[in-house]
Amino acid sequence: MKPRLVIVGPPGAGKGTQAAGVSEDLGIAWISTGAIFREVTASGSELGNQIVQLINNGDLVPDSLTNQVVANKLDEIGTDGGFLLDGYPRTLAQVEALDAMLSERGMELDAVVELNIPDDAIVGRLLKRAELEDRQDDTEEVIRHRIEVYHDSTAPLLDVYGKRGKVVKVDGIGTIEEVRERLISALKDSLGE
């Protein structure tokens, strides 16, 4: 059975960077709600216009919309597929919604990767990215707000998944390759392969 995984971590922890490699290695779908929302906002559609300000300010998109986006992706993947959810769930309400979505489809999560970097390493990484990529939420003020939103709304999820024995902690400091090896080896231990 292909693994069903979540990766959680603060902005700039390297979720997307690592998710790209891990999903390819494991042959599973990479679902980044942030990337999906950026595509929608770039399209100039009515939906995009509704959420563009939230994203640019570093605020969360409403749970109902976010949950629907993920449910659609899970339907595309089908019940036999594996996935790596990057940036979802992000609130306790999204954890509940994901629980319901998975159980309706007869699926279960195998592991939740907690990718950690200290707050003081985040701003530098993301300001560097701002020089290369055009993300409107990569300004210092918005980055600091995103860090606060992470601590307030998202970090509490780790207690919930921790109580379920699903959390695999990975240190996100080091080169991209070092973090990747650490992550793969921690996942192998956890999935018992």
Question: Is residue 9 close enough to count as binding ligand AP5 by CB under 6 A?
Answer: yes
Which residue lies nearer to Mg ion by CB, 146 or 166? Answer: 146
Under the binding rule (CB under 6 A), the answer on residue 13 touching ligand AP5 is: yes
Count of residues touching ligand AP5 (by CB under 6 A):
30
14 binds, among Mg ion, ligand AP5, none (CB under 5 to 8 A by kind): ligand AP5
Nearer to Mg ion, 35 or 99 (CB): 35
At residue 84, φ and ψ (nearest 5 deg) are: -125, 110
- Grouping H, G, I as helix, E, B as strand and the rest as coil, residue 80 is coil
Determine contact, residues 137/58, Cβ cutoff 8 Å: yes
Please tell me the distance from the alpha carbon of residue 81 to that of residue 20, in angstroms, as a whole number: 17
> Which ranges constitute the DSSP H helices of 43-118?
46-57, 63-77, 92-104
Cβ 76 vs Cβ 22: under 8 Å? no
Binding flag, residue 3, ligand AP5 (CB under 6 A): no
The residue with its CB nearest to Mg ion is: 16
Q: Which of 111, 102, 118 is nearest to 171 (CA)?
A: 118
Say how far apart CA 65 and CA 52 lie, in whole Å.
13
| Closest C-alpha among 186, 175, 153, 193 to residue 2 | 193
CA atoms within 13 A on the CB side of 148: 9
Name which of ligand AP5, Mg ion, none residue 179 binds, using a CB cut-off of 5 to 8 Å depending on partner kind: ligand AP5
The nearer residue to Mg ion, 88 or 107, going by C-beta atoms, is 88
Q: Which of residues 150-169 bind ligand AP5 (CB under 6 A)?
A: none
Site string for ligand AP5, 75-104 (x = CB under 6 A): ------------xx-x---x----------
Residue 55: CB minimum distance to Mg ion, A: 12
Give catalytic residue positions.
15, 90, 129, 135, 146
Binding-site ranges for ligand AP5 (CB under 6 A): 9, 11-17, 33-34, 37, 54-55, 58-61, 66, 87-88, 90, 94, 125, 129, 137, 146, 174-176, 179
